[in-house]
Every structure is written in C-alpha cells, then in structure tokens.
Amino acid sequence: MKNFALGRMKAGHMNKTEADYAAHLERLRLSGDVDWFRFEGVKLRLADSTFYTPDFAVMNADGVMEMHEVKGFWTDDARVKIKVAADQYPFRFIAFKAVAKSRGGGWLREEF
C-alpha cells in the first residue's frame, strides 16, 4: 500500500507549505502590495452543513478581497468546493502551489 502525506493534522495550525506562504504574504504586506491577511480567517457556507474555509483571506492594497488556497495536491472535494465558492461569493479565489527551490522557487497560480 502506498503512503501519502496527510498535511495539516489540526485545524488552525499551518503546515510547512502554508507557513512558507504566510511568510510570502508578510513580505507582500511589508512592501505595500497587501494590506491584510489572516490564516483560516473566513468560513464560507456553501450549502446546508457544507462549508469552505480558504487557507488565507487576503486584502490587496487596492481593497480587493481574495481567498487564497495553498495546495501540494488537489483532492476532488477541495476542487469542487473552491469552484462552488467562486460561483457564490464576490471574492477572487486563487490557488497557489509551491515550486521546488531546485526549480527556482516561487508559487504557481491558478484562478477560479
């Protein structure tokens, strides 16, 4: 049987990828590109008993609110939830995947 990484085991605590992304957002905040961000700061209702909590709520310097998802890989459930949320709420939904440092680092961006 193949072993898979489990990611964050406890709600409210960042995994390593999320912590790296939080550091990236902090650099953007210090440079003036981002006014505010919060880890798991917003919980969106999609349907009865169905919610989506983006990894980061982000307010850009221009006042636009974005919901950022940081992923190593996508499950079908996560992809469906972000698409449903993007259809229901007036926020920009963006997913980021870390690029290996050996490949130059940074973040791959996917908008919904």
pLDDT tens by residue, 30-85 = 999 999 999 999 999 999 999 999 999 999 999 999 999 999 888 999 999 999 99
C-alpha R_g of the chain? 14
Task: Extract the tokens encoding 48.
Answer: 């009865």
Those residues with Cβ within 8 angstroms of residue 70's Cβ, 6 or more apart along the chain or in another chain: 17, 18, 21, 55, 56, 95, 96, 97, 98
pLDDT at res. 3: 52
pTM for this predicted structure: 0.85
Those residues with Cβ within 8 angstroms of residue 64's Cβ, 6 or more apart along the chain or in another chain: 92
pLDDT reading at 7 higher than 80: no
Q: Give all domains of the chain, ordered by start, each with its CATH number.
A: 16-111 (3.40.1350)
